[in-house]
């Protein structure tokens, strides 16, 4: 058995994760959630004084915004859309017949106005753009959302529905790149405080197809994405538990995010993969939180 499925089995056996029959879709125990809540309080401790505006969007977003975002150009393989039955009584009868005989009943489902949120920051840009000009000294937002990515896997660190906590910064190039650097430093400090071994490395998003390879290389060459990596199911290939993304003026241009003088703002976002961080803690310190090192327990629970 490989390391990924054996860790997953141990998580199921301990009750920390609950099998739903679908790879990458898990229930979580109270104990697992308590670790995530404690880590989120630690994030608040590090980031709270920055005065970010907290906003919580549901795990689904406006399909029109999703279309404008260009997500389907870059990551069609990961997207999830919400479809519903929109027919009449006759259609309903044929739907039930279809289900009864085991045929594909989903093919007549119609797209709704909602798609599943692919990253916590996606609903933010159009929301902020609607409000008007960005202040000269920039803007900062604190987000958390369940995100969906269609990538079923036996690796417990690759889930299809997982939570992402994000800080998003808008402002001048210097303002947002300083923000990103400060969170790289804070990320290392935070993980050290909870006894996790980390490295930071340049990274790229999983752009689709042959054209995607060029986009990925470009992103790497320009150091637009860094990840904070922690060993979970492999030491040779540690898992990205945080990412630090500089979008240049791409989102500013796309969404019309401008300063009062009309110039386009730059944006950056920093994301914490909350399930991955909890899994890194359980993998490193053991499945029983009572046995975790005192210093780690103190950092998380005081």
What residue ranges bind Zn ion (CB under 5 A)? 119, 121, 269
Pick 35 or 240: Cβ nearer ligand 5GP: 240
Pick 175 or 276: Cβ nearer ligand 5GP: 276
Question: Binding to ligand 5GP (CB under 6 A): which residues in 69-98?
Answer: none
Say which entry of ligand 5GP, Zn ion, none residue 121 contacts (CB below 5 to 8 A, set by partner kind).
Zn ion
Question: Binding to ligand 5GP (CB under 6 A): which residues in 223-242?
Answer: 227, 240-242
* Number of residues counted as binding ligand 5GP (CB under 6 A): 17
CA distance 140 to 132: 15
Q: Does residue 276 belong to the site contacting ligand 5GP (CB under 6 A)?
A: yes
Question: Binding to ligand 5GP (CB under 6 A): which residues in 148-177?
Answer: 149, 151, 157-159, 162, 164
Q: Which of 129, 111, 110, 116 is nearest to 61 (CA)?
A: 116
Say which entry of Zn ion, ligand 5GP, none residue 155 contacts (CB below 5 to 8 A, set by partner kind).
none
Check: CB of residue 221 under 8 Å from CB of residue 257.
no
Say which entry of ligand 5GP, Zn ion, none residue 159 contacts (CB below 5 to 8 A, set by partner kind).
ligand 5GP
CB count within 10 Å of CB 136 equals: 11
DSSP string computed for 20-64: -SSTT-EEE-HHHHHHHHHHHHHHHHHHGGG-PEEE---SEEEHH
Cβ-Cβ contacts under 8 Å for 238 (sequence gap 6 or more): 199, 229, 230, 231, 232
Least Å from the CB of residue 276 to ligand 5GP: 4
Structure tokens at 300: 């998380």
Which whole-number Å values give the CA distances from 64 to 57, 68, 158, 275, in the listed order?
16, 6, 27, 29
Check: CB of residue 111 under 8 Å from CB of residue 63.
yes
Say which entry of Zn ion, ligand 5GP, none residue 269 contacts (CB below 5 to 8 A, set by partner kind).
Zn ion
What residues line the site for ligand 5GP (CB under 6 A)? Answer: 119, 149, 151, 157-159, 162, 164, 227, 240-243, 271, 273, 275-276
């Amino acid at each position: 058995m490989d390391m990924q499925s054996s860790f997953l089995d141990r998580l199921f056996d301990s009750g920390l994760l609950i099998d739903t029959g679908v790879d990458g879709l898990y229930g979580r125990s109270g104990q697992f959630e308590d670790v995530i809540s404690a880590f989120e309080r630690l994030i608040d401790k590090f980031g709270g004084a920055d005065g970010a505006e907290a906003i919580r969007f549901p795990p689904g977003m406006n399909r029109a915004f999703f279309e404008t975002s260009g997500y389907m150009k870059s990551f069609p393989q990961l997207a999830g859309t919400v479809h519903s039955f929109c027919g009449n009584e006759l259609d309903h009868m044929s739907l039930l017949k279809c289900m009864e005989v085991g045929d594909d009943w989903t093919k007549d489902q119609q797209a709704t106005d909602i798609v599943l949120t692919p990253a916590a920051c996606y609903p933010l840009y159009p929301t902020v753009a609607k409000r008007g000009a960005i202040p000269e000294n920039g803007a900062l937002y604190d987000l958390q959302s369940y995100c969906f990515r269609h990538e079923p896997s036996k690796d417990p660190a690759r889930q299809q529905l997982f939570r992402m906590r994000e800080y998003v910064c808008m402002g001048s190039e210097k303002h947002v790149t300083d923000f990103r650097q400060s969170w790289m430093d804070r990320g290392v400090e935070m993980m050290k405080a909870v006894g996790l071994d980390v490295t930071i490395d340049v990274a790229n998003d999983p752009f689709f197809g042959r054209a995607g390879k060029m986009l990925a290389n470009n992103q790497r060459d320009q150091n637009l994405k860094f990840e904070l990596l922690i060993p979970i199911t492999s030491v040779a290939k540690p898992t990205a538990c945080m990412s630090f993304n500089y979008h240049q003026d791409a989102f500013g241009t796309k969404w019309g995010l401008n300063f009062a003088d009309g110039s386009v703002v730059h944006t950056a976002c920093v994301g914490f993969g909350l399930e991955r961080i909890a899994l890194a803690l359980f993998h490193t310190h053991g499945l029983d939180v009572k046995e975790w090192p005192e210093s780690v327990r103190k950092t998380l629970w005081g």
